[in-house]
Every structure is written in structure tokens, then in C-alpha cells.
Amino acid sequence: DVVLTQTPPTLSATIGQSVSISCRSSQSLLHSNGNTYLHWLLQRPGQSPQLLIYSVSRLESGVPNRFSGSGSGTDFTLKISGVEAEDLGVYYCVQGTHAPWTFGGGTKLELK
């Protein structure tokens, strides 16, 4: 199975600070069809996960544009440009290129 390694496991930030989360894959996530199925989720405390970014860099409808995704192959990054209080929670990367789909271990974003 593809292993997704997220760093850091915990991230402390102040409101307005910009932060980045890394997701590294044990295999290239470039599918034979040319697409890369690497997505980012946020799970707020007590809630279900929600989709933020899909296919590396595409912003899900309704998600603020302070969120952005980048990367290719095995290295991917989620950036939040100006953290807001509502952004606190656990961020997960997930890949759907190789079966079975797998998730990263999560990065907990907390207030400093």
C-alpha cells in the first residue's frame, strides 16, 4: 500500500500566520491517465472530515482561497495564507491513485 507521510504532526500558529503542511508519498501519485489523485481534508474537532483541495491544487467549492495546494509526483504541500480561528483541526492528505486509497497520519493545527 502507498504510505503517505505528513509533516509536521503538530503545527502551532497565530492568527494571520501563514503555514505549510507536507505530504510525501512512498510512490509517485501520477496516474497512467495523467491525473494525480492527491486530496486534502480538514477535520474540525467533533466534526466529519471535509474536502478542501482535490487533485493536488483544485479548490473545492466554498473553500476560502487562503487554502492552496501544490506538488507533483511524491511531494505535496498544503498552504494556508493567513490562518483563521476556524482553520483549527486536523489536516489529512489522501491518495486515490493506487488501490487501496490511503490517508496520511494527519497534522494537527492549533493556536499558539
Residues that bind another protein (CB under 8 A): 37, 39, 41, 48-51, 54-55, 60, 92, 94, 96, 99-103, 105-106
Longest dimension (CA), the chain: 42
For another protein, the closer CB: 16 or 46: 46
Cα 11 to chain centroid distance, Å, stands at 13
C-alpha cell at 108: 494537527
- 105: CB partners within 8 A, 6+ apart: 4, 5, 6, 9
For another protein, the closer CB: 14 or 48: 48
For another protein, the closer CB: 16 or 100: 100
* Distance in Å, CB of 14 to another protein, minimum: 27
Residues β-bridged to residue 109: 11, 89
For another protein, the closer CB: 68 or 106: 106
Whether residue 75 contacts residue 6, with contact meaning beta carbons closer than 8 Å, is answered with no
Measuring CA to CA, which residue among 112, 51, 104, 111 is closest to residue 85? 111
